[in-house]
Amino acid sequence: MKKTVFVFSSLIIALLVLFKLSEYSYRSGNLNIELLISIIAVLFFVIGVYINKKGLTKDGSKPIPIDLKKLEDLGISKREYEVLEQVIKGLSNREIGEKLHLSESTIKTHVSNLLVKLDVKRRTQAIQKAKELKIITE
């Protein structure tokens, strides 16, 4: 997003100011050099954190992208989920059947059940819904 660009630009400007200040401090001798180092350190620390603020879970115990709980709640079975994955890939019922070594009829049954469980009318909507529910790895 352009937000990232904005943030970086602001940081660069801040950096500029900081360096100007440091330059000034050399001449006037007003600024404490330790304070300057601290500011720079904190600043760059913030930059680093900001870059990947997306994953602030430092416990590292949640690397699971798929929401298995929602699958449970919706009552989607293992086989149905496999079919859903292929539907999202854009395969036809026949192609899914060939891939999973099942008949087209079976796929139709699974898809039909999936549509009910996802509360949608078409497979294209199922794709959207699955992404909303974070049921799949995008």
Q: Which residues in this chain contact a second copy in the complex, by CB under 8 A?
A: 1-5, 8-9, 11-12, 15-16, 19, 22-23, 26-27, 30, 33, 36-37, 40-63, 65, 87-92, 120-128, 138
Give phi and psi for 21, each to the nearest 5.
-60, -40
List the one residue from 73, 75, 119, 128 that touches DNA (CB under 7 A). Answer: 75
Instruction: Measure the CA–CA gap between 55 and 78, rounded to whole angstroms.
Output: 29
Provide the mask over 116-135, with x wherever binding to DNA is found by CB under 7 A and - wherever it is not: x----xxxx-----------
Instruction: Measure the CA–CA gap between 33 and 35, rounded to whole angstroms.
Output: 5
Question: Measured from the CB of residue 87, what is the shortest distance to a second copy in angstroms?
Answer: 7
**Matching residue, tokens 């699971």:** 64
Give phi and psi for 25, each to the nearest 5.
-65, -30
Residue 108 binds to DNA (criterion: CB under 7 A): yes
